[in-house]
């Protein structure tokens, strides 16, 4: 009854489409124009990806830190590793570059040898004052050497901040205006003024300037994402059009398909603008994904049209059957694919939620476009010629299908043995998978800015901020000798961890104050003794300039202090060990009844976000599996059929996870997407096969063997066509500069290939082996929805 109603509905849809062709094309043109108008609202992400929801305690702690001390990721660093820098001409030119950068309104200030200040004691006023490090520009090599010797040996406060004594490197630290760090102004400044000034300096001096810091890294990374969008779209169009033409040997069919998916891409950008979502590393993948997923729709529709034309030569009837017979089938397969993406919506991650919403909307959108445009355009054209229909009788495809049939018929035991061996090996591989919480792991390894990241990691011990916040629970408690001593002890612990840089805190300022009190002698760069503390701190409190310096390390009440260090890019397990070690020492050093100490910073935020994401995406995958299982239950009304249908789709996921473990691909935000995406797409093949199998049961009077082989022959070709398109379509992501995107493309492609083989070999094998268990009235009664009528997807016309 339901099947008859469904057929009637689609027959009505076909009539509406074909009778209102001009109106529908006009509506599509207006909609596409409207979508193109929304492109102005598209924004590229200017803020760091936050994988945690706003209400998560770790995120709330980080936001509280930002409110108290301001944006932590506003620092850009520049360095030169070249001894020729220490000549008067180049040294002064380096200082000029810093002065030029400091003049821009986007820059708060620049800390460099040009404007470096020394803390000295004014013996008359009995206070500390800041004096310029450079009294005048050095004119001789001897003067430059004297200046750098003084910097490297007499000013330990600036060690690892302005210079690295071991490798004789100096650097400039650019502090951007915190209000522009997460806006497009930052991008314009870095890609414009900063890049131009540095390029001019390099050209004049012949020196290689290394640049890094989170604002710079984020800007260059975002620019790489923008550059890759066009590359992916062109690559996806190129690959899919070539494969499409190879299968159909028709320029007309290929151009029509490309027209459909290009409009789909326009809609994808329009929806991003309409919803005012930022273009991130994930949403940038949606336009090429729409091309890859949209082409199979075109294959089904055009293939069916050509089959009908070859069968009876009646264009009107052929187009009517394309819509009425294929419409429901493609709707169901697109719904299952969209469901795989839509499961990301349940995560609390804004990044994934937006990706899931836009992707699922666009998948349904490309279905609508395919169903409307292809029949309407063909209705205005002449019938396909014989040369366009030759592909329906391709011999090598028949050979492929015959090979699969022989395996199912004669080697089912071997199929099960291989499947079990793959399952066992994959489970072993799964136990070797790591979780990656590194924010820079997916960045383009060959990019110049990534090489600079590694340079600064090597020379200055890290680029990812880790902040330790010490709340003394009482005003002015930070400058108490006991607190300073404890913070200094924590600093020693941090120094002993090779992956962390030298910490910077108010302790360094107090040590510098003691050194200044003793006429700048370096050996006095240490905390004051209890006897010295009173008069040194009295002098420090009188110093207004020193108070300004304090604001970077201590809040306005003097109750809360920060300790800043930078972490190298390390494996997640090591990062967790470092966090655990710090927590253990913090608990020992700072009694909980007197101090409240917490750790935050973008490095830890990304680690926690990744682990949170993995947990949520496992739930989303489970939801996807549950939704598909319910869908199968509604179609076939059999628990056994649900299990049989899920096995060939879950096994490829397990195999892919095992491969990830063996080849060392970690679980991270990019690779965890593989499973939900691949499952949502691969289950389409199962629906095609089982639905055709149900039809064959009716035709063959419930003879299971005959029905299985018939279904395999008739659906095998279309499944092969679409799987090849999807395989090569997703493979275009391998050309990405981003490691995560490469892994995503390769893993989804491999999973879909495994899924095709599982659905064409393992699924029919299971049906044949379990024929007695499934041969009952409950299983064999008519399905609820006739999603694939007899004629559907029959690439080889058996009647001819």
Q: Which domain holds residue 641?
A: 2-47+220-379+396-431+606-780
Domain assignment present for residue 75? The answer is no
In whole angstroms, how far apart are CA 677 and each of 266, 680, 693? 22, 5, 25
Tell me, letter by letter, the H, E, C secondary structure of 543-591. CHHHHHHHCCCECCCCCEEEEEEEECCCCHHHHHHHHHHHHHHHHHHCC
Domain assignment present for residue 761? The answer is yes
Domain assignment present for residue 445? The answer is no
Give the residues across from 78 on adjacent strands: 172, 211
- Is beta strand 278-279 parallel, antiparallel or unpaired with respect to 43-44? parallel
Q: Between 230 and 256, name the one with better pLDDT.
A: 256
**pLDDT at residue 490, as a whole number:** 93
Q: How far apart are CA 546 and CA 506, in angstroms?
A: 11
Query: What pLDDT digit, counting tens, does each position of 282-304 carry?
Result: 788 888 888 888 888 888 788 77
Domain assignment present for residue 313? The answer is yes
Of 444-453, 579-588, 699-708, the poorest mean pLDDT is in: 699-708
pLDDT higher than 50, residue 793: no
Q: To the nearest whole percent, how much of the chain has pLDDT over 70?
A: 89
Query: What pLDDT digit, counting tens, does each position of 209-238 carry?
Result: 999 888 888 888 878 877 778 888 888 888
pLDDT higher than 60, residue 137: yes
Domain assignment present for residue 562? The answer is no
**pLDDT at residue 210, as a whole number:** 92
Positive/negative CA dihedral, 249, 250, 255, 258 = negative
Q: Which two tokens stand for residue 733?
A: 């992501």
Query: What pLDDT digit, counting tens, does each position of 87-112 carry?
Result: 999 999 999 999 999 888 888 888 88
Long-range contacts of 218-223 (CB under 8 A, 24+ apart): 218/46, 218/48, 218/73, 219/186, 219/187, 219/190, 219/191, 220/190, 220/447, 220/449, 221/443, 221/444, 221/449, 222/44, 222/45, 222/46, 222/187, 223/187, 223/191
Of 141-145, 428-432, 639-643, 743-747, the poorest mean pLDDT is in: 639-643
pTM (2 d.p.): 0.74
In whole angstroms, how far apart are CA 109 and each of 97, 172, 174, 487? 13, 11, 6, 27
Residue with structure tokens 């395919």?
370
Domain assignment present for residue 207? The answer is no
Q: Which of 330-334, 352-356, 440-444 has the highest mean pLDDT?
A: 352-356
Nearest to 243 by CA among 605, 730, 736, 684: 730
Query: What pLDDT digit, counting tens, does each position of 109-136 carry?
Result: 888 888 888 888 777 777 777 788 888 8
Q: Between 682 and 23, name the one with better pLDDT.
A: 23
Q: Are 678 and 752 in contact (CB under 8 A)?
A: yes
Q: Between 176 and 309, name the one with better pLDDT.
A: 176
Of 214-218, 373-377, 533-537, the poorest mean pLDDT is in: 533-537
Q: How far apart are CA 363 and CA 677, in angstroms?
A: 12
Domain assignment present for residue 403? The answer is yes
Q: How far apart are CA 657 and CA 671, in angstroms?
A: 10
The CATH number given to whatever domain includes residue 679 is: 1.20.1640.10
Question: 789 pLDDT band (50/70/90 cuts)?
Answer: very low
φ, ψ (nearest 5 deg) of residue 21? -60, -50
Q: How far apart are CA 440 and CA 221, in angstroms?
A: 9
Overall domain count for the chain:
1
């Amino acid at each position: 009854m339901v099947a008859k109603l469904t057929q009637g509905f689609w027959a009505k849809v076909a009539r509406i489409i074909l009778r209102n062709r001009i109106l529908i094309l006009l509506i599509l043109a207006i909609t596409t124009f409207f979508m193109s108008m929304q492109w102005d609202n598209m924004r590229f992400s200017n803020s760091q990806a936050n994988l945690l929801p706003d209400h998560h305690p770790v995120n709330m702690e980080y936001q509280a830190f930002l409110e108290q001390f301001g944006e932590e990721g506003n620092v850009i660093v520049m360095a030169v590793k070249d001894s020729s820098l220490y000549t008067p001409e180049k040294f002064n030119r380096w200082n000029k570059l810093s002065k030029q950068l400091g003049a821009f309104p986007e820059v708060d200030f620049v800390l460099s040898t040009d404007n470096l200040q020394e803390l000295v004691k004014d013996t008359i006023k009995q206070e500390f004052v800041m004096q310029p490090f450079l009294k005048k520009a050095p004119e001789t090599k001897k003067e430059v050497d004297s200046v750098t010797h003084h910097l490297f040996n007499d000013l330990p406060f600036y060690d690892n901040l302005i210079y690295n004594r071991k490798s004789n490197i100096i650097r400039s630290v650019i502090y951007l205006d915190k209000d522009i760090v997460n806006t497009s102004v930052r991008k314009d400044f870095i890609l414009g003024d900063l890049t131009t000034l540095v390029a001019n300096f390099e050209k004049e001096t012949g020196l290689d300037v290394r640049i890094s810091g989170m604002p710079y890294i984020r800007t260059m990374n975002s620019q790489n994402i923008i550059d890759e969008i066009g590359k992916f779209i062109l690559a996806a169009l190129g690959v899919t059009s070539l494969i499409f033409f190879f299968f159909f040997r028709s320029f007309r069919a290929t151009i029509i398909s490309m027209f459909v998916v290009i409009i789909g891409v326009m809609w994808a950008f329009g929806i991003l603008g309409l919803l005012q979502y930022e273009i991130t590393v994930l949403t940038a993948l949606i336009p090429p994904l729409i091309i890859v997923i949209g082409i199979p729709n075109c294959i089904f529709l055009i293939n069916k049209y050509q089959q009908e034309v070859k069968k009876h030569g009646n264009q009107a009837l052929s187009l009517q059957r394309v819509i009425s017979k294929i419409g429901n089938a493609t709707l169901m397969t697109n719904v299952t694919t969209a469901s795989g993406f839509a499961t990301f919506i349940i995560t609390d991650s804004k990044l994934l939620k937006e990706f899931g919403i836009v992707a699922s909307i666009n998948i349904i959108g490309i279905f609508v476009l395919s169903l409307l445009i292809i029949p309407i355009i063909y209705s205005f054209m002449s019938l396909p010629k014989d040369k366009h229909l030759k592909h329906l009788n391709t011999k090598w495809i028949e050979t492929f299908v015959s090979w699969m049939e022989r395996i199912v018929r004669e080697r089912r035991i071997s199929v099960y043995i291989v499947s079990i061996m793959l399952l066992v090996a994959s489970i072993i591989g799964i136990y070797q998978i790591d979780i990656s919480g590194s924010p820079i792991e997916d960045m383009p390894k060959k990019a110049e800015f990534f090489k600079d990241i590694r340079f600064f990691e090597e020379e200055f011990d890290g680029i990812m901020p880790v902040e330790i916040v010490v709340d003394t629970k009482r005003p002015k408690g930070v400058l108490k000798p006991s607190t300073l001593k404890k913070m200094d002890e924590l600093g020693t612990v941090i120094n002993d961890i090779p992956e962390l840089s030298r910490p910077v805190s108010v302790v360094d300022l107090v040590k510098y104050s003691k050194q200044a009190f003793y006429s700048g002698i370096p050996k006095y760069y240490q905390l004051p003794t209890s006897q010295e503390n009173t008069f040194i701190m009295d002098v420090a409190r009188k110093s207004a300039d020193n108070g300004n310096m304090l604001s970077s390390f201590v809040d306005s009440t003097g109750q809360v202090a920060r300790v800043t260090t930078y972490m190298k890019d390390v494996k997640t397990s090591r990062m967790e060990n470092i966090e655990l070690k710090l927590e253990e020492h913090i608990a020992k050093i700072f009694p909980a009844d007197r101090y409240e100490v917490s750790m935050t910073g973008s490095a830890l935020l990304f680690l926690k976000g990744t682990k949170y994401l993995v947990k949520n995406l496992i739930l989303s995958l489970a939801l996807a599996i549950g939704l598909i299982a319910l869908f199968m239950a509604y179609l076939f009304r059999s628990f056994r059929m649900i299990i049989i249908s899920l096995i060939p789709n879950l096994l490829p996921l397990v195999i892919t996870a095992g491969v990830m473990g063996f080849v060392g691909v970690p679980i991270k935000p990019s690779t965890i997407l593989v499973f939900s995406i691949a499952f949502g797409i691969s289950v389409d093949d199962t629906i095609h096969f089982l639905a055709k199998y149900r039809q064959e049961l009716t035709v063959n009077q419930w003879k299971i063997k005959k029905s299985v082989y018939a279904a395999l022959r008739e659906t095998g070709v279309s499944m092969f066509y679409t799987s090849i398109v999807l395989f090569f379509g997703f493979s275009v992501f391998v050309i990405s500069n981003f490691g995560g995107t490469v892994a995503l493309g390769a893993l989804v492609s491999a999973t879909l290939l495994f899924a095709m083989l599982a659905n064409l070999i393992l699924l029919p094998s299971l049906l044949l082996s379990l024929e007695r268990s499934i041969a009952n009235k409950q299983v064999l009664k008519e399905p609820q929805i006739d999603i694939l009528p007899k004629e559907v997807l029959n690439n080889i016309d058996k009647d001819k």
